[in-house]
Chain A
C-alpha cells in the first residue's frame, strides 16, 4: 500500500521536476541560445551519423562486424553509472524545496521522483538522438523488431544504472560529509583527472595516428564477455541474430531484479543523508576573524585603485570558490601539454617561459575582469554612491588583475632558467609579459562589462556568479592570440632571427598600437558602463 503511494507520488514529483527542467532550459535568451547551439551540434552530428547507421545496417552481415560493439557494450553500464553518480553529487543529491517535499511525502517517493526525472532528462538529451540512429540502422537492416529489442535491452540497463548511480552518489555524499577533507581531495582529484584526460586524449590520438598503438587490441582486452552477450539480445529476430546463450537474458533479469533493490538502498541512504546533520559541522569550526582594520600593504596603499585592488585580493583569498570559472583554461591546455611532452632541451625551457607568460595574461583578465558589473552587483548601490569615481573602481579591478598575473609573468620565466631557457630569452619574455598583463587586464574589464551576468549558479560545487561562457571564449581567443603573436615576435627578436626591415618595424608597431588601442578603448568602455549603470 505504502509502496503504491510512494510510486504514485514519485511519478508526480518526477513529472514536476521534469517540467521545471524544461522550463529552466528555455528560461531566458541566453539559455535558448545555448540550447540552439546544442541542438545544432547534435543535429549536425545526426546528419552524418544517420546515413552511416543506415548504410551499416544495409551492409553488415554479422553482429561481430559492427565496429566497437563489444567495448561499447562493456563501457556503457560503467559510463551510465558514473554519469548518474556524478549528477547525484552535483545536482540531485538533495531535492529542491527540500522542506516541502520531505514534510509532504515519504523520502522514498522523493528518491523515486528524482531518479525518474533524471531518466527523463537523459532520455531527451541522449535518448532521442540514439533512437534516431537505431531507427536508421533498423531501416537499413530491414528489421522492424530491432528498435523494440533495443528498447528491451536498453531500458533495464538505464534504470539499473540510474538507480545504482544514485545510490553510489548518495554514498559519496555521505562519505564526504563524514570526511570533508576527502570531499575536497576528490574535487581536486577530479580536476586533475580531467586535465589528464584532456592531455591523454590528445596524445592517444597521435599514437593511434602513427600506428604505434593498436586500438583493437587494447579494446578487446577490456571487453567483458557477458555484457557483449547481453547486447546481443538486441539482435534477436534480426538477420544478425546468432545462437543465443542463456547469459544474455540472465543479465537482463539481473538488471531488472537489481533495480528495485537499488531503489531501496538509495532510499535508505538518502534518508540518512537528508535527516541527519553533519556530525562535525560542515563549515570550519574555527570562527573566522580578522585582526586590525582594513590596511593595505605597501605598494597597494599608495593609491585608491591600489587599495580597492587589495580589497579584491583579500576577498579572493578568503573566498576562492568565486574563481572556479578559471578552470576553463584546462580545455585549452591540451595542445600545449602535448607539445611539452614532445619537446626537449632548450626548447623546453623557452616553452615553459612562454607558457608562464600565456598563463599570466589569462589570469590578468580572467580572474577579476570578465564580469565586473556582475561581481560588484550586490554592492553596487553602496559603491556607486560612495563618491569614488567609476574610473577609480575600474582601475582597482585592473590593478587586482595585474597584481595576480605580474608575479606569474615574471617568476615562471625565471624558473624556466632552470629548465635550460636562455637567460636573454627568459628576460625578454618577462619584460614583454608585464605590459601584456596590463593590456589583458584593461581589455577584460570592457569585454566583461559588455555582457554582465548577475545570476548565481552552481559551478564546480560553488554558488558563484560565473562570467558568460561567450565572454570567456572571446577573451581566450583575443588575448590568447595576441599573446602568441607577441611572444613569437619576442622570440624572433631575442634570438636575433629578425632583421630590422621597415616591414618588420611596421608590423610590430601595428601590433603594439592595436593592443594598446583596443585595451585602452575597452577600459574606457568599462568606465562608461559603470558611470551609466542603472539597476533594472
Chain B
C-alpha cells in the first residue's frame, strides 16, 4: 500500500453480528483523503453501526479498519484524527454551549487562546453567540445539533464522521451545516456523511455508497451511481436509491463501468 497516498478511511470486509442478527455483512471501504463520502441507506441498513466501528467505538465481529493510517483500536492515536457527530448529539444539558465547547477543548488539550478564538468564531458562524451562555437543556433541536457539530470539529480533525447531521433540522440550520461541510472539504478534511436525505448528498458528496441490509450495494460518484442504477432515463439519485434498495441482489459497482480511473 502506497504510504504517501494512504486512504483516509480503509475498511476491509467488516462484519458485525448482534446475536444471530447480521447488521453488517462484509463492508469494504477505501475513501481517499479529502473526499466527501455520502453514506446512503434506508433506516436499519447499518449506517450507524458502520460509523461506530469506523470511529473505534464498537468492535467489528471481523474485519479491519484504519483511519488516517491508524488502527482504530489504538484509541489514543486515533482521537486527534477524527471528529464524530452521532445521531443524538452527545451534549450535557446542565452546561451552556460555551461551557460545553470549552470543556471539550480542554479534554482535547487545545491551547486556551486557540480554543477561545475557535469557539467564538464557530459560535458566531453558527448563530449561537446570543444563546451561548444559556443552558443546553433550553436549546432547540437545531441549536443542539449545531453545538454538537461545532464540538466535533473543534480540534480540526482530519476525518469527520457525521451521522445524519441534518435530519430534523429547519432549512436554515441544515444549510448552515451543509455549507460548513463543504468548507471543511475545501480545506482538505475527509467527510464521511450518513444520511437518507438525498438532496444533501447530491449537494455535497464527491462519492456515494449505498448500504442495504448490511451490504454495500452501490458505490461511486453520485452521477455514476445514478446513471448505472436508474432503470429509466429520468436518472435522479432518488430513483437510483430506490432501485438499489428494493431487494435486488446485484451489487452495482458504478466505477467499474464509468470511472474506473477514479481511484487508486
Asked whether any CB of chain A lies closer than 8 Å to the CB of B91, the reply is yes
Complex: A5 Cα to B76 Cα, angstroms: 10
Asked whether any CB of chain B lies closer than 8 Å to the CB of A395, the reply is no
Pick out which of these stretches binds chain B: A91-99, A295-303, A315-323, A482-490.
A91-99
The 5 closest A-B pairs by CB, nearest first: A97-B90, A100-B90, A281-B19, A23-B94, A20-B94
Chain A contact residues: over half helix, strand or loop, or mixed? helix
Minimum Cβ distance to chain B for residue A105 (Å): 5
Asked whether any CB of chain B lies closer than 8 Å to the CB of A536, the reply is no
Complex: A24 Cα to B92 Cα, angstroms: 11
Minimum Cβ distance to chain A for residue B189 (Å): 16
> Which residues in B have their C-beta under 8 angstroms from that of A9?
107
- Provided the pairs A97-B90, A99-B57 are in contact, do residues A12 and B20 lie with their beta carbons within 8 angstroms? no
Q: Which residues of B contact A (CB under 8 A)?
A: 18-21, 55-59, 75-76, 79, 82-84, 86, 90-92, 94-95, 103-104, 106-109, 151
25 of the cross-chain contacts (CB-CB < 8 Å) are A2-B76, A12-B106, A13-B107, A16-B92, A16-B95, A20-B94, A20-B95, A99-B57, A99-B86, A100-B151, A101-B90, A101-B107, A102-B57, A102-B75, A103-B55, A103-B56, A106-B79, A275-B58, A276-B58, A277-B18, A278-B18, A279-B19, A280-B19, A281-B18, A285-B21
Q: Which residues of A contact B (CB under 8 A)?
A: 2, 5, 9, 12-13, 16, 19-20, 23-24, 27, 96-107, 275-281, 285
Minimum Cβ distance to chain A for residue B165 (Å): 14
Determine whether the beta carbon of A106 is less than 8 Å from that of B76: yes
> Which residues in B have their C-beta under 8 angstroms from that of A105?
79, 107
Determine whether the beta carbon of B57 is less than 8 Å from that of A104: no
Complex: A502 Cα to B93 Cα, angstroms: 63
Complex: A98 Cα to B107 Cα, angstroms: 14
B20: nearest residue on chain A (CB-CB)? A285
Complex: A98 Cα to B58 Cα, angstroms: 12
Q: Which of B59, B92, B108 contacts A97 (CB 8 A)?
A: B92
> Which residues in A have their C-beta under 8 angstroms from that of B106?
12
> Which residues in A have their C-beta under 8 angstroms from that of B91?
97, 100
Minimum Cβ distance to chain A for residue B216 (Å): 21
Minimum Cβ distance to chain B for residue A252 (Å): 34
> Which residues in A have their C-beta under 8 angstroms from that of B90?
97-101
Determine whether the beta carbon of B103 is less than 8 Å from that of A16: yes
Minimum Cβ distance to chain B for residue A35 (Å): 15
A9: nearest residue on chain B (CB-CB)? B107
Complex: A230 Cα to B241 Cα, angstroms: 70
Complex: A5 Cα to B18 Cα, angstroms: 35
Complex: A27 Cα to B18 Cα, angstroms: 38
Complex: A442 Cα to B106 Cα, angstroms: 55
> Which residues in A have their C-beta under 8 angstroms from that of B107?
9, 12-13, 101, 104-105
Complex: A5 Cα to B84 Cα, angstroms: 21
> Which residues in A have their C-beta under 8 angstroms from that of B94?
19-20, 23-24, 27
Determine whether the beta carbon of A275 is less than 8 Å from that of B57: yes
Complex: A23 Cα to B93 Cα, angstroms: 10
> Which residues in B have their C-beta under 8 angstroms from that of A103?
55-57, 79, 82-84
> Which residues in A have their C-beta under 8 angstroms from that of B83?
103
- Provided the pairs A97-B90, A99-B84, A99-B90 are in contact, do residues A104 and B104 lie with their beta carbons within 8 angstroms? yes
> Which residues in B have their C-beta under 8 angstroms from that of A19?
94
Complex: A285 Cα to B21 Cα, angstroms: 9
> Which residues in A have their C-beta under 8 angstroms from that of B76?
2, 106
> Which residues in A have their C-beta under 8 angstroms from that of B103?
12, 16
A6: nearest residue on chain B (CB-CB)? B76
Minimum Cβ distance to chain B for residue A452 (Å): 19
- Provided the pairs A23-B94, A100-B90, A281-B18 are in contact, do residues A275 and B104 lie with their beta carbons within 8 angstroms? no
Complex: A275 Cα to B79 Cα, angstroms: 15
Complex: A9 Cα to B94 Cα, angstroms: 20
Determine whether the beta carbon of A104 is less than 8 Å from that of B79: yes
19 additional A-B residue pairs with CB within 8 Å, beyond A97-B90, A99-B84: A2-B76, A9-B107, A13-B107, A16-B92, A16-B95, A19-B94, A24-B94, A97-B91, A100-B104, A100-B151, A101-B90, A102-B57, A103-B56, A104-B79, A105-B79, A105-B107, A276-B58, A277-B18, A280-B19
A2: nearest residue on chain B (CB-CB)? B76
Determine whether the beta carbon of B86 is less than 8 Å from that of A285: no
Tell which of B82, B92, B103, B107 has the most Cβ of chain A within 10 Å.
B107
